[in-house]
Amino acid sequence: MQVPHSATSGATLLKEFGLYHLTRLKAERDLAQMAAGWEKSQARLRDRVAAHEAAQASTMTAMAVRDGDDAALDDVVRRFALLVLAKCGNSRKSPLYLTYFPDGMTPVVNAPLEAELQKVNVIISKLGQEEDEDEELKAFAGPLSAAANMLGQAVDAHRAAHDSELQAYGLCEQEKINWFDAYKLNYRALFHLYYKTPKKAESFFKPVTKAKKANGGAGDVSTPKPPVSKT
C-alpha cells in the first residue's frame, strides 16, 4: 500500500484520501465500527485545518490593516516634509529641514516598520521644542502621533496574529501525523481481515497517482504478513 506524501495538505487528505476511505468503509456493514473511528479522525483533522485556515485569514487581515496604516503614516510624513521644504525655500540642506530629516525624507518612509516608527517619534519629539516654532509645523505633531500610534498597534496585532497562525499550523501538522497513523492502522486491520483477498483491502484506499508520486512521492506501508490459517 502507498500512502499520500507527508507534505500533502490537510485539505487534500480530507477531501480526497480521507473521504474516499470513509465512503468505502461505510459501504460495508461489517466495518461500521472502523468507519465510525475513521470519521472521528477526519473530524479532528478537519477542525485543525479549519483553525489553521482561520488563523491564516486573521494574519492576512492584520497584514492588510498594518500596510494600510503604514501608507497613512507615510502620507503624513510626506506632507510634513513638503511643508518644511516650503518653509526653507526648498533647500534640503537648510538647518530647519535637517532638524527633522537629517538623512532626507525617503529613508524615513522606506525604513522597516519598527525603524520608521522610531524615526517618526524623533520628529514628533523635536516638534514644539522651541517656543518660537512655526505653528504650522507644530500642528503636525497631532497627525503624526495619531498615525504612528495606529501603525504601532497594527504592527503588534499582526505579530500576534502571525504567532497564532504558527501555533495553529503546528497543531494541524501534529493532527496530520495522527491521521496518517490511523490510515495505516486501518490498512493493516483490513489486510488481516481480507488476507485471502489482499486486493480487497487495497480497494478501500484511493490510489496515489503518478503525478503525485512525482511531486514528492508516496510513502510505502509494508504489507503485513497474513495470519496463519487455523485449518
The total number of structural domains in the chain stands at: 1
Judge whether 226 lies within some domain: no
Question: Which residues, in sequence order, are bridge partners of residue 2?
Answer: 220
Stretch 75-104: mean pLDDT: 95
The CA distances from residue 80 to 74, 152, 184, in Å, are 10, 19, 65
2: confidence class by pLDDT, cuts 50, 70, 90? confident
Judge whether 17 lies within some domain: yes
Query: What's the pLDDT score for residue 187?
Result: 97
Judge whether 227 lies within some domain: no
Query: What's the pLDDT score for residue 213?
Result: 47
Stretch 86-91: mean pLDDT: 94
pLDDT one-digit tens code per residue, 98-157: 999 999 999 999 999 999 999 999 999 999 776 667 889 999 999 999 999 999 999 999
Query: What's the pLDDT score for residue 130?
Result: 64
pLDDT one-digit tens code per residue, 154-207: 999 999 999 999 999 999 999 999 999 999 999 999 999 999 998 999 999 999
Give yes or no for residue 217 having a pLDDT over 50: no
pLDDT one-digit tens code per residue, 14-66: 999 999 999 999 999 999 999 999 999 999 999 999 999 999 999 999 999 99
Judge whether 34 lies within some domain: yes
C-alpha cell at 122: 524623533
207-213-214-216 Cα dihedral, nearest 10 degrees: 150
Judge whether 225 lies within some domain: no
Task: Report which residue type is found at 138.
Answer: K
Query: What's the pLDDT score for residue 198?
Result: 87
89: three-class secondary structure by DSSP: coil
Task: Report which residue type is found at 15.
Answer: K
The mean pLDDT of the chain is 91
Judge whether 76 lies within some domain: yes
DSSP alpha helices (H): ranges in the chain?
10-12, 19-26, 32-87, 95-100, 106-109, 113-126, 135-138, 141-193, 198-202, 210-214
**Pairwise CA distance, residues 103 & 125, whole Å:** 17
| Residues spanned by the domain of 54 | 2-220
Judge whether 228 lies within some domain: no
Judge whether 8 lies within some domain: yes
Query: What's the pLDDT score for residue 133?
Result: 72
